[in-house]
Structure 1
Amino acid sequence: MKEKKIIILYILMLVVGLALLFTKSTPEPTPVPVAEPGDYMQVQVREEPKRESITIAVAKHDISKTKILTKDDYYFKSIEVDTLANEKSKYISDAIAIDSYVAKNHIAKDTFIENSFVASPNSDDYRLLAVKEGNYMFPFKLEQIDSYLVRNLKVGDLVDLYIFYSDGGSKFNKLVSPSDDFVKNSIKPIIVGKKILYIDQTDEDGSGFQKRSVNQIQLELSNQEIKLLRTLMTNSTIMIYPSTFKNNVEDGLHLLNDKEKGWPLTDKAIFSKNRQINLLKGN
């Protein structure tokens, strides 16, 4: 009797299970979106950093502040930089952009030299850094015949200044600069061993077909040297030559005797005691 009940119970469970199986609804499929014409799928692609090989200037040794750079102070080396980060623009990759420039601060050996580390010869920073305290930049205009100096000299080179003169031979021992007597003409160094701070070749003089290039160099001179040179330039011929000295001469007047060094400075009164003049008048 008990076995019959168990069989009946299994049959009922089977019937209920079959009923539930056939009555369960089939789930509707989820629609797949279809891209319409004109629609674009946005795909984020991670861009790899772009690298570029460039050649830059590197300090060959420790460079002190105010040092005027020459080819002995740097060399060029190839490195890779990030193009997107615009690293290329901050480095110096051309000798034209560093030769004869002045160091704005100390640059350690093997340092990649950046544009901000140096100052160009035509900048205000250059004038402040390259000129020693107490000295001045003095412009010296070159004649056409002296253009060879511009082609052969560079910033940092030394030059000597000579006066072209002649002893007139008169009883007054008159000096002439220059004399029309070729035999009597001489040259004498008046300022020697002076450093070129800047060379300017861009100006022009005249107009039209008469235009000619005007070369000018800036020298570093002391106050005393400028006084002598400017006074002589008012009525004499001054000539410039590559220096015969290896090192910069602090006192460029050292070849002159004491009387020549002090000329034209004087402590004499401008007017005599017998003739008092209170007002200066022109012609």
Structure 2
Amino acid sequence: MKQKKIIILYILMLVVGLALLFTKSSPEPVAEPIVQQPVQVKEEPKKEEPKTEIITVAAAKRSISKSKILTKDDYYFKSIEVKIGSNDKSKYIGDATEIDAYVAKNNIAKDAFIERSFIAAPNSEEYLMSAIKEGNYVFPFKLDQIDSYLVKNLKSGDLVDLYIFYSDDEIAKSNTNRLVSPSDDFVKNRIKPIIVGKKILYIDLGDTIDQKFQRREVGQVQLELSNQEIKLLRTLMTNSTVMMYPSTYKQNVDDGLRLLSDKEKKWPLTDKAIFSKKKQINLLKGN
């Protein structure tokens, strides 16, 4: 009997426990704190700084010989790639104003890039030393106001011809070798080329101003002439009119006197004595 009571007690306890288990309210779930995920920022790949650049340089259009005064027919421009920060950009020439009318200090091969050290600027001492051929000289030819068109149209390296302005009628009628330059009769005047195909080294612009604030002289054209050409020209200029015109020649002429006869070329040189023997003696005596 006692055992039955115990069993019944266990059963009741079990029933109460189950009842409590099902009737007990389940606790509200505790919300877990929201953890924000770190925002991942995508970094754009860094752009590499350019290491090279494109520049324009002058190149020889054809083989250029030493002492050649450069014109637009001697060079062309092309684009090349060089390292940024290198001295290539300053070494080469990229503008026509930095090469036109300059002189080549040495031989330059065809298609070679023309460096600044290869050429010399007009009016510089290096220019004169490079432009003049051995045995030739610089001769200044003064221009008058009427010749101002030459300054506007010609530049270093261009060629000119020199003419004498004279009257051939006076020579034909005269029994002597008298030369009239020019004649009073304009119709009888002629021009004759005496020196041709000569190169302009550079042009000096005149700065002399008269009382009316006008330039008396346009300037001087510095020519490259030989010793023989200078003797003839300088003598003619003492008592005749010599005029300059753009040359009809395309290339520099070494022998500028080529159109003259042998007699004309040799004038005014002579081997005759300046004084007779008697005059020489009188001169020595002080008379």
Q: TM-score, normalised by structure 1?
A: 0.72
| 1:89-108 equivalence runs, <5 A | 89-108=90-109
Q: Which of the pair is proportionally richer in helix? A: 2
- Residues 49 and 84 in structure 1, CA contact (< 8 A), matched pair in contact too: no
| 1:179 equivalenced with 2:180 (yes/no) | no
Match of 1:66 in 2: 67
Greater displacement, 81-90 / 130-139: 81-90
Change over 3 Å in CA distance of 1:245–1:113 after alignment to 2: closer
The separation in 1 between residues aligned to 2:212 and 2:83, in whole angstroms, is: 50
- Residues 192 and 249 in structure 1, CA contact (< 8 A), matched pair in contact too: yes
Q: CA deviation at 1:119?
A: 0.6
The DSSP-based 3-state class of the residue aligned with 2:231 is helix
The separation in 2 between residues aligned to 1:111 and 1:248, in whole angstroms, is: 24
Q: CA deviation at 1:161?
A: 0.7
Write the deviation string for residues 121-176 of structure 1: whole angstroms up to 9, x where unpaired.
21222222221111112111111111212222232222111111222756656322
Greater displacement, 249-258 / 225-234: 249-258
Larger radius of gyration: 2
Paired letter, 1:190? I
Match of 1:205 in 2: 208
Q: How much is the aligned-residue C-alpha RMSD, in angstroms?
A: 2.7
Paired letter, 1:100? A
Select which of 265, 269, 283 maps to 1:278. 283
Change over 3 Å in CA distance of 1:106–1:170 after alignment to 2: closer
| 1:105-120 equivalence runs, <5 A | 105-120=106-121
Change over 3 Å in CA distance of 1:272–1:98 after alignment to 2: same
Change over 3 Å in CA distance of 1:61–1:186 after alignment to 2: closer
Q: CA deviation at 1:219?
A: 1.5
Paired letter, 2:113? F
- Residues 165 and 190 in structure 2, CA contact (< 8 A), matched pair in contact too: yes
The DSSP-based 3-state class of the residue aligned with 1:231 is helix
Select which of 231, 236, 240 maps to 1:236. 240
Identity of aligned residues (%): 73
Paired letter, 1:90? K
- Residues 49 and 82 in structure 1, CA contact (< 8 A), matched pair in contact too: no
| 1:214 equivalenced with 2:218 (yes/no) | yes
Consecutive unaligned residues in structure 2, runs of 5 or more: 1-47
- Residues 67 and 133 in structure 2, CA contact (< 8 A), matched pair in contact too: no
- Residues 90 and 114 in structure 1, CA contact (< 8 A), matched pair in contact too: yes
Consecutive unaligned residues in structure 1, runs of 5 or more: 1-46
| 1:18-33 equivalence runs, <5 A | none
Change over 3 Å in CA distance of 1:113–1:238 after alignment to 2: same
Q: CA deviation at 1:64?
A: 2.8
The DSSP-based 3-state class of the residue aligned with 1:129 is helix
Change over 3 Å in CA distance of 1:112–1:266 after alignment to 2: same
The separation in 2 between residues aligned to 1:258 and 1:107, in whole angstroms, is: 38
The DSSP-based 3-state class of the residue aligned with 1:126 is helix
Count of equivalent residues: 233
Write the deviation string for residues 83-129 of structure 1: whole angstroms up to 9, x where unpaired.
54454333222211101211122333333322111111212222222
The DSSP-based 3-state class of the residue aligned with 1:100 is coil
Runs of 4+ displaced beyond 6 Å: none
The separation in 2 between residues aligned to 1:261 and 1:86, in whole angstroms, is: 53
The separation in 1 between residues aligned to 2:238 and 2:254, in whole angstroms, is: 25
- Residues 165 and 181 in structure 2, CA contact (< 8 A), matched pair in contact too: yes
Q: CA deviation at 1:214?
A: 2.2
Select which of 194, 200, 209 maps to 1:196. 200
Q: TM-score, normalised by structure 2?
A: 0.71
